[in-house]
Structure 1
Amino acid sequence: MSQSIIPRAAVRGRASGVMFLAFFGTLWAGIGIKGLNGWGYLWLLILSLLIGVVLLIGGIVLIIKSKRLSNEMGEGDSNRWKRKNMWFGINFGLEGVLIGVASAICRSTNHLDLFVPIIALIVGVHFYPLAHLFQVKIYYFSGSLLCLLSAITLFTLPVRVTWENNQIMVWWITVGFGSALILWGTCVTVWQVGNKLLNSAGNRVKEAEESFRF
């Protein structure tokens, strides 16, 4: 029986993306919940965790299903995936450094309110090289939405408002929940792409089996 030409690494790359997006989307939702200062805390927390867990399971299932795919790659393909993983690590590390620098600057200048929108901007920009690196076009869209969300929040919305003697962090709520929805939506799209790769691999295996019989 012939193996699928779709390498296991291709599907697992999508699965890893799903899990990263599920985790960080849930973290962003937590920022939005924190900005509400106790309003609807429990129900929103449960809902956010539920969404995150469901999406995380989706990524794990992709990894499990990918075990039936071939793990054999040509030397060129193997080197290419190693370079992709290396540049992913560099991109992720640079994102962490920029967030750390932004945090230090915001603290030293006593402008911590700017930190959350700036994080969204950094995360948005970091999607562009990932889109090119892994050839996932939705990352361009997601990165643009995050940058746009950050800009709109910074230039059009108040930092906080007072409602019934309760101070609500408008920037945290807008950027937190907005970023969560963007990342979760991207997560679902990447998951669908991973499933299409699996289905395509399955179809090719069936075609090979039928060809072998005749």
Structure 2
Amino acid sequence: MTLADTPSPISRAESRGRATGAGVMAFFGLGWMACGVTDMPVTAGRVVFAAGAAVSITFAVLGARMGRGAADAPTTDTGPTAARKKKVGVRFALVVVAEWVAIFAIARVLVATDHAEAIPAFVAAVVGIHFFPLARLFGVRAYHWTGAALCASALAAAVLAPLTSTPALWTALPGFGSAAALYATCAHLLRPPG
């Protein structure tokens, strides 16, 4: 093994960021799993949800371990300054506020127009879109894939549910598709460097 083949360690800040991201993704992945099982038979839905809970707990525990291990990670001289952290925090808050305002507005319109069944798909699309500015903000290119996968699950529901006259697809496709995308992102964030 040459020096070029040796995986480069990730910085303390990056390790903490990955750990936090994995924890957040695990939490919301379980929420999307709950959406996905909504129209399943009760017993099957409970089994699938329990499996999702086990996956979420596993990713959360692995993220917590990574976060604790961040204390041993090397620091970098080029780490973010306090001003940079504040700027990132403000931009993150703006993205999240815009996301929640869009979700609220879209849900109100869908309910008012008797299309409440479409809310999960439109929420998945908005959540997917919010990953694109986060990819740039946090420097995590994989968030582009996360966003695209959530948008794809929303589009699949918007096309297939009306086309097949299967109302359960309004919850199943964005629910399971979004959960899978978030769990895949957890796995990516928690992978060893190199």
Q: Which amino acid aligns with 2:179?
A: A
Following the alignment from structure 1 to structure 2, what is the Cα–Cα distance between the partners of residues 126 and 156?
A: 24
Q: Which residue of 1 aligns with 2:63?
A: 59
1:137 to 126, 137, 141: 141
C-alpha distance in 2, partners of 1:55/1:36? 25
Kindly name which structure, 1 or 2, has the bigger radius of gyration based on alpha carbons.
1
1:185-204 paired onto structure 2 within 5 Å? 185-192=184-191, 195-196=192-193
Match of 2:112 in 1: 108
Amino acid at match of 2:168: M
| Paired position in structure 1 for 2:45 | 41
Give 2:185's aligned amino acid: T
Unaligned runs of 5+ in 2: 1-8
Q: Residues 107 and 148 (structure 1 numbering): CA distance in 2 closer, same or farther, change over 3 Å?
A: same
Matched residue, 2:180: 181
The Cα shift of 1:24 comes to 0.6
Deviations 1:159-210 (A, max 9, x none): 764xxxxxx6122111111111011001110111xx42xxx8xxxxxxxxxx
Pairwise CA distance, 1:13 = 1.2
Kept in 1: contact 2:62–2:190 (CA 8 A): yes
- Give, in whole Å, the separation in 1 of the partners of 2:51 and 2:10: 36
Q: In the aligned structure 2, how far is the partner of 1:30 from the partner of 1:176?
A: 7
Mapped to 2, the partners of 1:77 and 1:15 lie a distance apart of: 20
Aligned-residue Cα RMSD (Å) equals 2.4
Question: Could you tell me how far 1:111 is from its partner in structure 2?
Answer: 1.1
Q: 1:144-159 maps to which residues of 2 (within 5 A)?
A: 144-158=148-162
SS at match of 2:183: helix
TM-score under structure 1 length normalisation: 0.78
Displacement over 4 Å in runs of 4+: 70-76
Structure 1 unaligned spans of 5+:
162-167, 201-214
Q: Does 1:26 align with 2:30?
A: yes
What CA distance in whole angstroms lies between the structure 1 residues aligned with 2:104 and 2:141?
Answer: 28
How many residue pairs were aligned? 186
Asked if the contact 2:125/2:150 (under 8 Å) is kept, the reply is: yes
**1:68: which partner in 2?**
72
The 8 Å contact of residues 30 and 176 in structure 1, kept in 2 or not, is answered as yes
Q: CA deviation at 1:82?
A: 2.4
| Equivalent in 47, 50, 53 of residue 54 of structure 2 | 50
Q: Is 1:11 paired with 2:1?
A: no
